[in-house]
Amino acid sequence: MAALFAVAVLALASPLLAFDMGQSTRCVAIPNQMKVCKDVGYSEMRLPNFLGHSNLEGEVVPSSEDWRPLLQTGCHPQAQAFLCSIIAPVCLDTFIQPCRSLCVAVRDSCAPVLACQGHPWPEALDCDRFPAEEDVCLTPLAKFSHFAKGLPQPACQMCPSVEDTPAVKTVLSAFCHNDFAVTAKIHRHRHPSGEPEFQVEGRVEFIHQGPLMPYDTKHLLQQWLLINLRCAGAIVRPGRSQLYVLTGSVQPDGSVALTRLFPWHKKDAGIALATRKWKHYRC
């Protein structure tokens, strides 16, 4: 998936709006296989799109699906609307582009995710190329201006350390020196393309809850894996689901940083003993 995403970013290196807006266009139904834009809020799109793509099956659908990894990170609640307004513009009497302000809002939230995965913000999505709000364009919605600011948020970070069969003191020290500790089962499986995908399975159990919210923690860890895709590939083993003890802290800006990962195997008596001792342990 990461390799496909790299191709998508490179494909957007070509100039945006390179086609003539006066040329003949046609309206087509957004196909079911174009899942990225299928529920965007309208059912018909205009071809050619703002990237100059006119071949629905050969260009538009593949390029849209390549953006799925970024959208899955939840980097901005209007990222889908922004991208689909370019690759699948709504079919109206006039061309409706995204406003510059919408581009800036999505870029400021999503560019750090791209950077974390080794990609720059695409030149074709340079926000200066989009119209100002006094023109007819797609504006950012006010209710998403400060989305989820009250909750801890995953962020790009250096890979946390991974330690097999740790000593009891090592685990207890990690509990003491971090804001939270949880157990989570992570599965790394492969698509037919051979690219890995990471998923938090089942419930996330708290050892030390700290500032985390019970209803949000599984989603937070899932988003962390999607944002830190290269890191996840280095620390999560392929194969069957693996149970981990994860410790971390919440930074002053609200971002979550994972610090230690301990794979919890059945033979790891040290981890089991540490979790039992923690209930009555004084740091």
16-51: per-residue pLDDT in tens? 444 455 556 889 999 999 989 988 999 999 998 888
Burial string for 193-203 (b: 16+ CB within 10 Å, else e) reads eeeebbebeee
Closest to 181 measured CA to CA, from 206, 200, 218, 152: 206
* pTM of the shown model: 0.78
Residue that wins the pLDDT comparison between 110 and 11: 110
Per-residue model confidence (pLDDT) at position 156: 93
CA gap 219, 223 in Å, rounded: 6
AA letter at 49: N
CA gap 8, 218 in Å, rounded: 28
pLDDT bracket for residue 192 (50, 70, 90): low
Domain at 153-278, CATH from 2.40.480, 3.90.1200, 2.60.40, 2.40.50? 2.40.50
CA gap 103, 109 in Å, rounded: 10
- The counts of H helices and E strands in the chain are 10, 10
Query: Is it true that domain 2-144 has CATH number 1.10.2000.10?
Result: yes
- For the chain, what are the domain ranges? 2-144, 153-278
Contact 139, 99 (CB under 8 A): yes
Per-residue model confidence (pLDDT) at position 20: 52
pLDDT bracket for residue 7 (50, 70, 90): very low
Length of the chain: 283
AA letter at 94: T
Say whether pLDDT at 118 is over 90. Answer: no
Q: Rounded to the nearest 5°, which phi and psi values hold at 81? A: -60, -40
Whether residue 48 is preceded by a cis peptide bond, meaning omega within 30 degrees of 0, is: yes
115 alpha carbon, distance to own chain's centre: 12
AA letter at 196: P
Q: What is the rounded average pLDDT of the residues 145-155? A: 68
Q: What is the rounded average pLDDT of the residues 7-17? A: 45
pLDDT bracket for residue 14 (50, 70, 90): very low
What is the average pLDDT score of the chain?
Answer: 85
Least confident of 51-55, 100-104, 182-186, 249-253: 51-55
